[in-house]
Structure 1
Amino acid sequence: MTVAAESPSASAPASVPAAVPASAPAAVRASVPAAVPPLASRVRSIGGSPVRDILAVTARPEVINFAGGLPAPELFDREGVAAAFRYALEEAPAQALQYATTEGEPILRERLAARTTARGLLTTADDLLVTTGSQQALSLLATALLDPGDTVLVEAPCYLAALQVFGLAGARIVAVPCDADGPDPEALADLVVGERAKLLYTVPTFQNPTGRTVPAERRAAVAAVAARHGLWIVEDDPYGELRYEGERVPWIAAHPDARDRTVLLGSFSKVMAPGIRLGWLRAPAELRRACVVAKQAADLHTPTVNQLAAARYLAAFDLDAHVARVAAVYRERRDAMLAGLAEALPAGSVWTRPEGGMFLWARLPESYDTTELLPRVVAQDVAYVPGAPFYAGEPDRSTLRLCFVTQTPQEIGEGLRRLGRGLTG
């Protein structure tokens, strides 16, 4: 079973006609169409997402899938979201169905700015650009900031889709050594200088894939490195509101050393619904304007009706209360997974205990290769994501990522029993 997309070959596909010998009659040569030009080198060298490849292989309903990063669909506020869309379409249909400004609907940006300010980072509507999911924000930033060959620093391990974005931009991607508290500040400083790095991409709260959270002291040290050596920080925060325990840690973007050089990304995907495809970025003015130009070239603007519905939801419903209800359920599911890991994983394994978010990270004994083991595990009707694709540099092949939010505690227990059989099989 193939579970990861192979990089497209740089050679021509088999369907392209072979070259016609020069000795062939002119009529024959004229009748054979020439080969089409090749794909761009950047897409020939970047493979697909291993997570999405695994999800395609494990789509059978009997599979308990710990591989995805999908919110629990039964927890979506379907009635509230539907009411918000009805309002947008009934009260302002001409606006909802029309083109909008690239920057985003003012009413949504105002409400997002108020939420951001309430969480400790003074923000105005003009500081924000609405994007079609925070994934688009990453793409816009890559377009605005990176020339081919520029160096991007990432965490080890790192969010998979960020590696794709930076790879497609032609960047050199270099991993920063990390420990349980996140990027090592001294190693980061050495890499900024030695590699002439342009930006650091980080998910400091409930990181994907590890679930770890960078403490305040480490965030301050990272901000100081950026200020001292000249570095952009892209701070991605899709999971920060899904906290189950502990105290909230302020954003890096709120640190005095980093305010003029940090881009903060946010999203409704994990707290409202991913199908709405709404994200945003908060950036210094010059960079934000560059991202607006990049977005104009990409899609003109994010769908107007989605923006107006989200703005209505924020005005008419209590998103914080909804997130609290979701987090309470997710905490039970996290606890169920933590309770069963010792029996499911081989002796000598270690794993993280996230304070929130959607993922935990496990490391098996060194002799285990989780990529090689995956087909055997899938045969038991359960799935995970091998850790290797999350690394920009040399991977730790004994690692794996588990998502704990999509299944019930009972399903998690059964899934872990299947996982144990597959790993020890």
Structure 2
Amino acid sequence: MRTEPVLNKPTLNGIASTAQAAASHAVEGPISPAPMRLDAAQGQRPLPPMDAPSSLRLRASAAPTGEETHASTATSGSTATDEAAPAPARQASTINPIKLFAQMMVGVLSLTAGYRAARFPGDFAKDPGGSLWAAINLDHRSSPADLTQGNHTVLERYGAYIPKDSGCFKAKADVTHDIPSGVAGQWNFKTRQVKLNPNIALGRHPAEVAGHEFIHCYTHPEFRDRHINHPHWKALNEGLTTHLTEKLPEPKRLLPIALDKDPYHGFKLTTGDSWPDAAKRIEGAVGEDTLLKAFFGGDDDAISEVAKAAAQIYPRLASSRTEQELYRAGMMRGSQQLAECYAGALLASGQPLPESWSRNMLPVFSFSDMQPEQAKKAQLQAEQSHERMGIIFDAAFFSPDLKTQRQALGMLREDLLMHWENVVPDKG
């Protein structure tokens, strides 16, 4: 009997185990990569293979493998690192403020200098340095209209006191570079000419400077001649002129900038007053009407009143003019009394005795040769005379007006002849 070989026939248990093994491979995924959905390309996790659902597959999908967990953690950590990284620093500014300011100034200078060169081409030919400096400082550029405005302003304010035949009506007025450096304006009495600098500082106005110079021009010759040889003439003249200029209406300005004070406010007397302040005190003593009559009109009585007030306001100094007038007044009599009283008045004012020649009015060569006890007696008697004579005493020795001084010396001499006792004995 032929025996047939025994074959392994499939059984139900074998089929079940094979199916289970296949199912487990299906859950772990095929060897070839699964197709990726479009939404996975946009950064989302790829979905599991789209095969038939089963309970085993669902359980496998719900519990991710260790590799997937590790990959997810690594991705999450990378994202956190990107978020914590600092933003890239901005590019540092390369603008240099000093260089920028210099460029702006060069631009402004170019504009101002170009404007001046185009409108006033002669400026840079006649005064290149001054014109360039004026452009840098934004100075005003004067014009003939400023001269006209300054003149009209003076006439409107003080014209009632100015004589109709004043020589200033025929004076010349020019904007010119022919003027000392640093001088804004100038009045030349000899040439009868008003000069205005083409370049006026920004803090001033050309019309105001012109007004100052025209007040000089309209100053009465009598007032000038009677004061010009006194030591305080310049302080008196410039102080009064500045004070009267500041009473004029201010010219209109393109920019709302207040005018600077006149430089003469920086000039001080030994009393502490500035030149314009001392002039203001004179006006306070005699009144504006009297001051203007003296200064512009040349009125004799008004000039005398102004001179007496000035003798009490300005420092009491020795002067060769006064010593000449002492000699003149005492030629007939009273020369020693006047000379000794003059020495006493200087000492009472805190001044030293002058070393000048006494012109034979004293038995000593110089006023300073008086002995200390003699000087002390002279000072005491001078103070007593001042109490008796008051303003006449001040005018006799310290009046800036020559005519007023001569009149006062004659009156004082009579007082001294009655009350003075000589302090320097005669050598004979």
Band the TM-score falls in, shorter-chain normalisation? under 0.3
**Bigger strand fraction:** 1
Bigger relative CO (Cα 8 Å, ≥ 6 apart): 1
TM-score for both structures, normalised by structure 2: 0.23
